[in-house]
Structure 1
Amino acid sequence: MEFARFQPSLKDLLPFLQISRDHDASDYVIAYWSRLYATEVMLNNTTKSPEAMQLLMILMYEMEEIKNAHGTKETIAVRTAAKAYMENHVLNLFANADKQDREGKFNTNIVKTFTNCGVLYDVLQTFGDLTDEMVHNRKYSKWKAAHIDNCLKNGKTPVPGPKKFEEEMRAEAIAARYETAM
């Protein structure tokens, strides 16, 4: 199915579908749980259009193929093992992206890595609520990907590390307190 032709209600699934496709050959665990998360989102949030039903059937078929090939492995069969694997993977990915960012190594690969971190933190919701640290890292990853991408597109040098993010979060908190007081 061509991702670019999705109806607007399915476009929110693109990051999860893309990350699952990107990992099909290299990491079946990431591919499986990303598809499962997309399936859960579809079942909870979209209309049951023919296109949505077609995508749902494709996702279910692809997950079944992964289960047939790897279903006896803990990272597919046991949710706690899968959660631990996914958490470890995203933490390592985040640490790598953060290290490159702090070293000032700005390119499209770091944008993709931070984007993937944000997406995988979303996927972790399949296993339950995220910890406060995970919520922070997800928000930071998505912000950092957008910040670096925007700077690269506009010929600016991105600010390494969390300094600018923390400043924006403080300003956001102050604005929220001000609105609440009114």
Structure 2
Amino acid sequence: PPHSRPPPTRAMGEQAKPLLPFLQRGDELQRADPKVAYYCRMFACEEGMRTSDKTPEMRELLSLLVLQLEKTKPSAGLQGAEEDEAYVENFALRLFAKADKLDRGGRRDAKTAKLFYVASIVIETLRQFDVSNGAKHELSDEMAGKQRYAAWRAGELAKANREGRTAAPPPEEGEDESASAARTTGGGGTAGGGAGMDDEYESFLSELTDNLGKGAGVP
């Protein structure tokens, strides 16, 4: 039957990889917070729709994603854009605060790295709100700084964990943390996927396909 198997990851190429972190967060957060999960997927969908010269595989992914958004919308508890933006921002800030507390308390492990990473991804989804003329919403200086710091700190902790060592302590509170992150990362951005991305993508798309069955058309 149509969409019974995911398209090969190699055929998907680079087009879908930037969407993967948002799709994965949507999957992870579905039970804990359906609204945030919905907006993670919506952001991925909108980013995918902006892609020019979509491959057939990208169209298939977007078709499945549109179906998933329709399926999960009733349970997402959506309100107005302003209320939902505040809700998603508060969720991201709580994640950031939790990660920062663990980090400063000496727990510099993979779990803390993941919390920082997820916070950076959720902050990025705030760009879908208050969109005008097709341009993405700019983050406030505060949120942009927290996003840079979260992505940087996630990378620092993850690297130390992979190398079997304890990461250096975070900057003292009150220091310019976002500037420290920008110097280290070359200007910011969210932490990337890295090794294992293809396997993760194939697994994700396979599960999405199994759950949804036939797709809908994508322009």
TM range (shorter): 0.7 to 0.9
Q: Deviations over 1:115-170 (max 9, x none)?
A: 10110111111112210011111011110010011111112221222359655646
**Aligned: 1:50 with 2:56:** yes
Q: Which has the higher helix share?
A: 1
Q: Are the equivalent residues in 1 in contact too, given 2:152–2:185 (CA < 8 A)? A: no
Structure 2 partner of 1:40: 46
Structure 1 residue 171, shift from structure 2 partner: 8.0
Change (3 A) 1:160 1:42: same
One-letter code of the match for 1:102? Answer: R
Measure the CA separation in 2 of the matches of 1:79 and 1:45: 24
> Bigger shift: 160-169 or 98-107?
160-169
Change (3 A) 1:3 1:22: farther
Map 1:51-130 → 2, pairs under 5 A: 51-70=57-76, 73=77, 76-127=78-129, 128-130=137-139
Runs (4+) of structure 1 exceeding 6 A deviation are: none
Q: Are the equivalent residues in 2 in contact too, given 1:46–1:52 (CA < 8 A)? A: no
Structure 2 partner of 1:137: 146
Structure 1 residue 23, shift from structure 2 partner: 1.2
Q: Deviations over 1:57-99 (max 9, x none)?
A: 11111111122344xx3xx241111101101100011001001
Measure the CA separation in 2 of the matches of 1:3 and 1:30: 27
Match of 1:29 among 26, 35, 49: 35
Q: Are the equivalent residues in 1 in contact too, given 2:149–2:181 (CA < 8 A)? A: no
Q: Are the equivalent residues in 1 in contact too, given 2:19–2:44 (CA < 8 A)? A: yes
How many matched pairs?
169
Instruction: Flag the structure with more relative contact order, 1 or 2, with Cα contacts below 8 A and sequence separation at least 6.
Output: 2
Change (3 A) 1:167 1:140: closer
Gaps of 5+ in 1: 174-182
Measure the CA separation in 1 of the matches of 2:82 and 2:97: 22
Measure the CA separation in 2 of the matches of 1:44 and 1:157: 41
Measure the CA separation in 1 of the matches of 2:142 and 2:100: 15
One-letter code of the match for 1:82? Answer: D
Gaps of 5+ in 2: 130-136, 187-219
Measure the CA separation in 2 of the matches of 1:135 and 1:43: 24
